[in-house]
Amino acid sequence: MESKPSPTPTIAQTPSTPPQLPTETKGVESNPKRHEKCLKSLDRSLNGSPHLQYMIKSMGDVGCHINPESFFHCKPCNEESGAYFDPSSGIVVCENYTLSQKRINSNIIHEMIHAYDYCRANADFNDCVHHACTEIRAATLSGDCHYSRELVRGIATPVVGHFPECVKRRALVSIMLNPSCSNPSKAEKAVEKAWDTCYHDREPFKHAPKKKKKKKKKKNHSKKTQLKQKTTKT
């Protein structure tokens, strides 16, 4: 009887191996003003982002209860990175890069997806397929690939179909920073192998969070009507 090929492993089936950290903070001095500004931004994220609050709750649901005061940190980084996840200490927001609050929120959510995947299965970030899986999920669920973000990056993409292309591109860039997956061909194969399973894995969300549309202010027609009536009477 012919044996069937083994299915693509999901992040929930990965072995326990410490991940390759994307950045270090050695040799970089902290600036008190930047550190204080980062802490305020982090506090706004923790108290003002429903997605982040839901992620923290979801971590507890899969057995990893976290204390925000000890899990989230502000530190200087010696690489241009908005944030990174360190399994030994939590999520670090890079304080020496000036970013908007929305961008900081998105970066933290991105790293929370990595933390969630590591929590529920001790994900092996040194396995290129497993690393590709969590990067695909992070790019999909964090808002990294909203059309407006692509325009800010200077990438002119078609409105239809831009999202999966962006997710693939950003996942590929991220895993190629991992020394174990720096070979372009190896990285591309890893993304392709993980794609079908991991792109559609939206846990802990039911679907990819959408960008909120700004509500249009309603014009006050009643005052204009009253003025017209007064003008007609006089």
> Is 203 assigned a catalytic role?
no
The catalytic residue among 36, 69, 80, 111 is 111
99 within 8 A of 40, measured Cβ to Cβ? no
Q: Give me Rg for the CA atoms of the chain.
A: 22
Q: How far is CA 43 from CA 9, 51, 58, 104, 223, in A?
A: 36, 14, 19, 11, 41
- Give the pair of three-digit tokens for residue 220: 């006050």
CA angle 120, 43, 22 (to 5 degrees): 50
Distance of alpha carbon 51 from the chain centroid: 11
Residues with a catalytic annotation lie at 111
